Every structure is written in C-alpha cells, then in structure tokens.
C-alpha cells in the first residue's frame, strides 16, 4: 500500500543584500544555534508561514525581524528566486531578495541564532569558494556528495546553497540596482 506524501508546508526567507562602506556587495546569512533539526547550519532569516501573515513576503519580513531584529522598514524588496522544495523537512521555501540598511550592531534571537555573518559576494564567486565533498551525516543511509560554498569556517549547503547558486548569476548580470 502506498503511503501518501504529506502536502508541502510554505515557508519564506529573506536574502538580505547591502553595500558596505567600501562599496562591496554583501550577503547576510545566519548561523543557527546547535539545537534543532538544522543545528549549526548557515541559512537565511525566515521560517514557516503563520496564519496572521498576509503573504509569503510578510512571512519573510516577520521572521527576519524576529530572528535578527531587522525591521521591514529597513528592507526594500528587489525580487524573488524560484521556490526550493526540501525533501527531508517537507517545506516549499519562497526566497525574497531585499536590499537592506544594516544596523550598526545585529541583535539576534539567541535561542535560534548563534551569529549573523556578512559575506562579500565577490568571495562567493571565487573558483575555490564552491566545493563538493562526500559527507556521511546522521540519518543518511550512505555517504553522499554535497556541494557547498565556503563561508569562513562554515559550509553553506542544502537549500541555502541552492538559493545562492540561483542568486549569484542574477547579481553578476546586474539585475537589481543595489
């Protein structure tokens, strides 16, 4: 007998971009605390859609303010990327790209976020920034090749990797004025 697949749940993230004082384009990512399903992983601020959210864009903005203290008034939406389906957790994630005014100091939710990182886009475009290695993670039936971007000492992989991979060519093409 076939077990039906549960319907995907909607989630949304904000992909925050800004130019630093030197004019370099930067991407903001968070490192989750060690607790939970995605413990220690790099991600974008966001989460599942709640009943009070008027839209998925509202979800991304609400979650961003809750997680890293960035109010919606400091975000100018630039566009979207294709949605990403996560097989393991059963989400369809809707990425929203926004130009932000970063605060002088980030104030994140310490129960969810370990740190906020600001990544120079040009660093992600370097030939050795994108790597594929064979990993064996708990719960995986066998070792599996995993592609990721090196962000300092951390790998940016999974759904976030797929989003960045879709984002970079559009930034290089100058699609959004930032």
Confidence of residue 103 (pLDDT cuts 50, 70, 90): very high
Stretch 129-153: mean pLDDT, rounded?
87
Average pLDDT across the chain, whole number: 92
Residue 2: inside a domain, yes or no? no
pTM: 0.91
Mapped onto helix, strand or coil, the DSSP state of residue 76 is: strand
Print the domain residue range for 20: 9-172
Question: What distance lies between CA 166 and its chain's CA centroid?
Answer: 12
Q: Give 120-137 pLDDT, tens digit per residue.
A: 999 999 999 999 988 887
Stretch 9-26: mean pLDDT, rounded?
97
Q: Give 39-96 pLDDT, tens digit per residue.
A: 679 999 999 999 999 999 999 999 999 999 999 999 999 999 999 998 777 899 999 9
Asked if residue 38 has pLDDT above 60, the reply is: no
Rounded to an integer, what distance in angstroms lies between the CA atom of residue 171 and that of residue 178?
A: 9
Residue 177: inside a domain, yes or no? no
Determine the pLDDT at residue 102.
94
Residue 1: inside a domain, yes or no? no
Residue 72: inside a domain, yes or no? yes
CATH number for position 58: 3.90.79.10
Asked if residue 158 has pLDDT above 80, the reply is: yes
Question: If we measure between CA atoms, which residue out of 49, 45, 21, 20 comes closest to residue 118?
Answer: 20
Give helix then strand counts, H and E, for the chain: 3, 11
Task: Kindly write down the DSSP assignment for every residue of 32-56, as one continuous string.
Answer: E-SSSTTTT-EE-SEEE--TT-SSH
Percentage of the residues of the chain whose pLDDT score is greater than 90: 79
Confidence of residue 37 (pLDDT cuts 50, 70, 90): low
Mapped onto helix, strand or coil, the DSSP state of residue 113 is: strand
Q: Number of folded domains in the chain?
A: 1
Determine the pLDDT at residue 140.
75
């Amino acid at each position: 007998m076939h077990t039906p697949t549960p319907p995907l749940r909607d989630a949304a993230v904000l992909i925050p971009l800004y130019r630093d004082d030197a004019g370099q384009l930067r991407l903001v990512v968070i490192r989750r605390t060690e607790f939970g399903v995605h413990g220690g992983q790099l991600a974008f601020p966001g989460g599942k859609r709640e009943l009070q959210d008027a839209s998925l864009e509202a979800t991304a903005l609400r979650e961003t303010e809750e997680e890293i203290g960035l109010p919606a008034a400091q975000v100018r939406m630039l566009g979207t990327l294709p949605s990403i389906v996560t097989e393991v957790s059963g989400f369809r994630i809707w990425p929203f790209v926004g130009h932000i005014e970063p605060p002088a100091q980030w104030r994140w939710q310490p129960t969810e976020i370990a740190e906020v990182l600001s990544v120079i886009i040009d660093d992600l475009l370097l030939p050795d920034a994108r790597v594929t290695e064979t990993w064996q993670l708990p719960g995986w039936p066998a070792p599996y090749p995993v592609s990721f971007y090196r962000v300092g000492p951390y790998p940016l992989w999974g759904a976030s990797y797929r989003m960045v991979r879709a984002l970079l060519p559009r930034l290089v093409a100058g699609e959004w004025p930032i």
